Amino acid sequence: MKIALLGYGRMGQTIEQIAISRGHDIVIKTSSNTGYNIKEADVAIDFSIPNAAFNNISNCLNNDVPVISGTTGWLDKYNEAVSLCEKNKGAFIYASNFSLGVNIFFELNEILAKMMTKLDDYKVDIEEIHHTKKLDAPSGTAITLAEGVIKNHSQYSNWKLDESTENILPITAKRIPDVPGTHIITYKSDIDTIKIEHEAHSRQGFALGAVIAAEWIIGKTGVFTMKDVLNIG
C-alpha cells in the first residue's frame, strides 16, 4: 500500500516505522499543505495540527484518496468533513485515539457510566495527562470519554475544562514532560472512590491502530470509526 503521511512529527515518524515493518511504502511525508500530489497515494494518514487537519482531509476527499485522521482539536469542522466525504463518495475515519487499549477503555467507560447513572452520591471527573508539547486541551480522548459518560449518565449534560457545576462533567488537563497519554475517570462519594485508568507507555499503540485503520479502509466507501475497524463493543 502506498501511504501519504500528512504530518511528519512524533506520530508521523512512529507510523512510518510501523507501516514499513508491515510491508507498506511511504510515498509522501510532509509537514506542509503544499509541494506534493496526493493522488500518488492509495491512502493518507493525517497526524498534523488542529489548524491544518480539515484542509488536509478535504484535499484527500477531493482527490478520491481515502483518509485516516488522528489530529485532535479541529472537530468544529467534523460535520463538514463528513458531508464532503458523503458528497464525493469517499472514505474517511477520524478517531481521537487509535489504540486498541483506549478503544476497549471507551467501551468500559460507557458500561461504567450506565451502572452509575442512578447513584447520585457519586460525582464523576475526568483527568488527562500529556507531554508539554501538546497543543490542545483537553485531549480528544478526554472529550470522547466525556461524551461517553454524558450519553449514558442522566446527571451530566455537558463537559467543561476546569469547571464543575451540577450538570457539568469536569475535565482537568495536566502537562508533564514526556507523558504519551494517560486518562483517568473517577467516581467519588463520601464513602469510597472508583477509578478506571488507561496509561499509554509509548506512541506505538496509536500508530499501529492508525496503520490498521489505513489497511482496513482500502476499497470501502463511507465515514467510519475505530469501532467499525476493530469490531468491538
Ligand X SMILES: O=C(O)C1=N[C@H](C(=O)O)C[C@H](O)C1
Ligand Y SMILES: NC(=O)C1=CN([C@@H]2O[C@H](COP(=O)(O)OP(=O)(O)OC[C@H]3O[C@@H](n4cnc5c(N)ncnc54)[C@H](O)[C@@H]3O)[C@@H](O)[C@H]2O)C=CC1
Active site residues: 130, 134
d(CA 62, CA 186): 43
Q: Quick check: 38 and 4 in contact, CB under 8 A?
A: yes
Closest CB 139 distance from ligand X, rounded Å? 3
What's the 3-state SS for 90-146?
Answer: CEEEECCCCCHHHHHHHHHHHHHHHHHCCCCCCEEEEEEEECCCCCCCCCHHHHHHH
Q: Report, in Å, the least distance between residue 43 CB and ligand Y.
A: 16
Written as nine digits, the cell of 169 is: 462533567
* Member of 26, 60, 71, 126 binding ligand Y (CB under 6 A): 71
Pairing of strands 91-94, 182-188: unpaired
Q: Does 93 bind ligand Y (CB under 6 A)?
A: no
Sign of CA dihedral 121, 139, 211, 52: positive
Q: Which residue has the cell 488522528?
A: 70
Q: Which of 17, 21, 31, 167 binds ligand Y (CB under 6 A)?
A: 31
**Residue 155 touches ligand X, criterion: CB under 6 A:** no
Q: Is 134 in the site for ligand X (CB under 6 A)?
A: yes
For 16, half-sphere exposure in the C-beta direction (CA atoms, 13 angstrom radius) is 15
Contacted by 130, from ligand X, ligand Y, none: CB < 5 to 8 Å by type: ligand X
Contacting ligand Y (CB under 6 A), which of 16, 67, 72, 129? 72
Near ligand Y by CB under 6 A: residue from 49, 104, 196, 223: 49
Mark residues 106-145: x for contact with ligand Y by CB under 6 A, - for none: ----------------------------------------
Is residue 63 close enough to count as binding ligand Y by CB under 6 A? Answer: no
User: Which lies closer to ligand Y via its Cβ, residue 153 or residue 183?
Assistant: 183
- Alpha carbons 183 and 140: distance in angstroms, whole number: 11
Closest distance to ligand Y from the beta carbon of 231 (Å): 18
To the question of whether residue 71 is assigned a binding role by annotation, the answer is yes
CB-based contact 166:158 (threshold 8 Å):
no
* Nearest approach, Cβ of residue 140 and ligand Y (Å): 6
Residues of the binding site: 22, 70-72, 95-98, 131, 140-141
